[in-house]
Amino acid sequence: MNHAKTFMLLAAMTALFAGVGYLVGGVGGMAVAFGVAVLMNGFAYWNADKMVLAHYRAQPADENHPNPVVKNYVRDTIELAQRANMPVPKIYIIDQAQPNAFATGRDPNNAAVAATVGLLQMLDRDEIRGVMAHELAHVKNRDTLTMTVTATIAGAIGMLANFAMFFGGRDENGQPTNPIAGLALMIIAPLAASLVQMAISRSREYEADRIGAEIAGDPTALARALEKIELYAQGRLNIDAERNPATAHMFIINPLAGKGADNLFSTHPSTRNRIAKLLDLVRGGGVRPRSAGGTSVPVTDAGPWR
């Protein structure tokens, strides 16, 4: 269902681009805007993982890490990737107090997952497994590609709106359009594209929750993790995320301060709704929870994080 919803939203964004492009600059103007957007987002697609990991100062982690919590995090992520029948991604840790995690990379063979110190300190082992299974689901679903496509089209629509601002729109006969209509186009078109882009992001979160629960075999662990992360994330400012809000959609919970509400302008669905859907999986018998057995090493005894 979520795949169909994503397809329909992408079709709507494409139709919006085609309509706006034709009104602003005809077929030629539409082609120029789309070409520039493809080049810009193509660069981001091939380099975004390196840029994001560098921005958050992520450090690689492996099974030889001195901290037992990090060691378990690495081992469990490897095991979950094998269960999902996918390549093991590069694994990172971020020295950030806000509990959160994200996945990046252009495809499953060139992917990376990262968890913050705050997340590893706060969650038990089963909950961390649930979070990482969610991130692996994003990689398996190639959500990075989906969001790159939406960003390309949204960027092209934004460029067309700028063309309208500087050069004015054109009708089907090549004549200038009403300037008021051009102003409305400049404002409404990028806003509509952003709304569709955010809707696609929210749809992909639900799908990653579902598949992540199947990979980990425990919807309740991910539900508990989401509840804890949202509760604590709202009280811990993530300066790096605030400086680059365009990366907010990558995280399992919105890292931006005061952005917990579920609305049209949110990149994430409400945590309450996500938890409800995960618990529905258990009630419906779709995924049976694993027996509880996750443990946490007390922070004071956990050893160094670097």
Task: Establish if 70 belongs to a structural domain.
Answer: yes
Within a domain: residue 156? yes
Domain that holds residue 89: 2-286
Residue 294 forms part of a structural domain: no
In the chain, the number of structural domains is: 1
pLDDT band at 10 (very low <50, low <70, confident <90, very high): low
Token representation of residue 81: 């990737």
Q: What is the pLDDT of residue 241?
A: 83
The rounded distance, in Å, linking the Cα atoms of 142 and 254 is 20
Exposed / middle / buried, residue 305 (Cβ in 10 Å: 0-12, 13-18, 19+): middle
Q: For residue 60, what are the β-bridge partners?
A: 92
Q: Does the residue 214 lie in any domain?
A: yes
pLDDT over threshold 90, residue 274 = yes
Instruction: For residue 280, tell me if it sits in a domain.
Output: yes
| Within a domain: 303 | no
pLDDT at 114: 96
Percent of the chain with pLDDT strictly greater than 70: 66
Q: How confident is the model at residue 299 (pLDDT cuts 50, 70, 90)?
A: very low
β-strands 111-116, 101-105: how paired? antiparallel
Q: Sign of the C-alpha dihedral, residues 75, 291, 141, 93?
A: negative
- DSSP letter for 58, please: -
Residue 292 placed within a domain: no
How many degrees, rounded to 5, is the angle at CA 98 between CA 275 and CA 96?
Answer: 140
Active site residue 214: no
Residue 33 lies in a domain: yes
Which residue of the set 63, 79, 135, 207 is catalytic? 135
Record the pTM: 0.77
Confidence check: pLDDT of 7 > 80: no
Return the H-helix or E-strand segment holding 91: strand 90-94
Position 300 pLDDT exceeds 50: no
